[in-house]
């Protein structure tokens, strides 16, 4: 997540000094709901892939473009939004981006064909990168300095919940009604976030913005550049395979659609717990924690196809996968903060952008492999990426002095915008 710089030095208080603590925290809540809705919308098709592909008359691999398309566009909009935003009040940008998300959900829910569905998903991508870029920066400006870490943690909780719970929740709604209702339900959530932001967000003026020269300077440095490659490989390993987990469970492992809902819900819950459990150790041994999670991801990708005839084994492996990916985003976020201490805005923008590239390329290549060679082969491709990611982690040194996650959160929340 990117922190932009637009607060005067030393000012960690809310932008409106007359704002009450309750109103400030309600504003944080509005941004948190928005973050949850954004990331839920991004990953919603993962659990709905078989149903959408069947109704819109495309193959599962082609349906994976619903994940690829927003990823490509968001990779551009993450740094592009801040390069082009200038000094526009960030309150208006956040509201506009949330409005675009609402339109995306409605277009997707009522899409008569796959082409219209991709238009809706493209609109999501255009708004996604910018919102992720601004959300945490806004959190640090809405509350007083000593509360900034808690506000940042609240936004991260919204992102984490969406990452690990949004997919199974959407799948559950689809099982009870239809995949179109899943998009409509997410749209209702977006509408609530939009109203809350319009009512509760104070003015968030900006006096400075990210410079293109900062991005160039970052990419000239070997350690940040290799760190970004590591991020791309590990996220690519996950999304090249996880995008097609529902078709695998349905067709290869023989799960029913209702059982897939509950298995994915278990994946989400255990991932959510893993995120918070690992947060207690990453400050002391970041590289060890990241290596452990990457190896666990590799193990899941390698063993999943071999256990496809055993429902209990498939479920157990998927839960291990959930443990791994529940913690990987946190580990890599802290890693990039340490790798770019003097260019936090550029580092965060590139971090968000490279994740979106990994999602787009991983799901696209994975879809091609699924259609031509099968899902088991796609999992092996993901395993190869995971091996390369583990090699990259092993050859890198976690930059910066050890620091607890809560201390990092305080720095993030207190950064000047």
Mean pLDDT across the chain: 82
Q: In this structure, which topology does domain 21-414 adopt according to CATH?
A: Growth Hormone; Chain: A; (1.20.1250)
251-285 pLDDT tens trace: 889 898 888 888 888 888 888 788 778 877 777 88
Quick check: 395 and 387 in contact, CB under 8 A?
A: no
pTM of the model: 0.75
The rounded distance, in Å, linking the Cα atoms of 247 and 374 is 10
The rounded distance, in Å, linking the Cα atoms of 294 and 382 is 12
The rounded distance, in Å, linking the Cα atoms of 54 and 138 is 41
φ/ψ region of 254 (left if φ > 0, alpha if ψ in -120 to 50, else beta) reads left
Predicted local distance difference test score (pLDDT) of residue 341: 78
What confidence tier does 205 reach under pLDDT thresholds 50, 70, 90? confident
Listed range (252-256, 377-381, 382-386) with the worst mean pLDDT: 252-256
Nearby residues of 334 by Cβ (< 8 Å), 6 or more positions away:
282, 283, 286, 405, 408
115-125 pLDDT tens trace: 999 999 999 99
Q: Is the pLDDT score of 374 beyond 50?
A: yes
Q: Is the pLDDT score of 88 beyond 80?
A: no
Nearby residues of 390 by Cβ (< 8 Å), 6 or more positions away:
291, 294, 295, 298
The rounded distance, in Å, linking the Cα atoms of 107 and 26 is 29
Q: Is the pLDDT score of 353 beyond 70?
A: yes
306, two tokens = 């071999």
Quick check: 88 and 366 in contact, CB under 8 A?
A: no
């Amino acid at each position: 997540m990117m922190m932009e710089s637009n607060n005067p030095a030393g000012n960690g208080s809310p932008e409106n000094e007359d704002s009450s603590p309750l109103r400030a925290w309600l504003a944080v809540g509005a941004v948190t709901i928005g973050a949850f809705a954004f990331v839920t919308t991004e990953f919603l098709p993962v659990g709905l892939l078989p149903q959408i592909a069947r109704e819109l008359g495309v193959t599962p691999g082609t349906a994976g473009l619903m994940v690829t398309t927003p990823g490509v566009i968001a990779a551009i909009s993450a740094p592009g939004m801040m390069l082009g935003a200038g000094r526009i009040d960030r309150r208006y940008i956040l509201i506009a981006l949330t409005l675009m998300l609402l339109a995306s959900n409605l277009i997707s829910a009522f899409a008569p064909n796959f082409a219209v569905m991709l238009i809706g998903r493209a609109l999501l991508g255009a708004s996604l990168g910018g919102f992720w870029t601004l959300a945490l920066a806004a959190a640090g400006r809405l509350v007083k300095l000593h509360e900034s870490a808690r506000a940042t943690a609240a936004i991260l909780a919204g992102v984490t919940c969406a990452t690990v719970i949004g997919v199974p929740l959407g799948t559950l709604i689809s099982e009870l009604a239809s995949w179109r209702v899943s998009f409509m339900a997410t749209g209702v959530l977006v509408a609530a976030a939009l109203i809350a932001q319009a009512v509760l967000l104070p003015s968030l003026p900006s006096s400075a913005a990210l410079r293109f020269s900062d991005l160039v300077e970052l990419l000239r440095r070997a350690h940040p550049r290799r760190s970004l490659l590591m991020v791309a490989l590990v996220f690519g390993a996950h999304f090249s395979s996880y995008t097609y987990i529902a078709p695998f469970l349905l067709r290869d492992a023989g799960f029913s659609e209702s059982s897939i809902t509950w298995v994915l819900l278990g994946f989400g819950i255990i991932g959510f717990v893993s995120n918070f459990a690992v947060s207690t150790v990453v400050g002391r041994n970041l590289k060890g924690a990241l290596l452990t999670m990457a190896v666990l991801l590799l193990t899941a990708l390698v063993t999943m196809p071999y256990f496809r005839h055993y429902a209990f084994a498939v479920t157990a492996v998927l839960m291990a996968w959930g443990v791994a990916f529940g913690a990987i985003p946190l580990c890599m976020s802290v890693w990039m903060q340490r790798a770019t201490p003097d260019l936090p805005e550029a580092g965060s923008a590139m971090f968000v952008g490279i994740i979106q590239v990994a999602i787009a390329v991983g799901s696209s290549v994975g879809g091609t492999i699924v259609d031509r060679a099968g899902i088991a082969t796609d999992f092996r491709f993901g395993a190869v990426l995971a091996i390369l990611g583990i090699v990259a982690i092993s050859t890198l040194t976690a930059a910066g002095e050890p620091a607890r996650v809560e201390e990092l959160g305080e720095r993030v929340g207190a950064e000047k915008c």
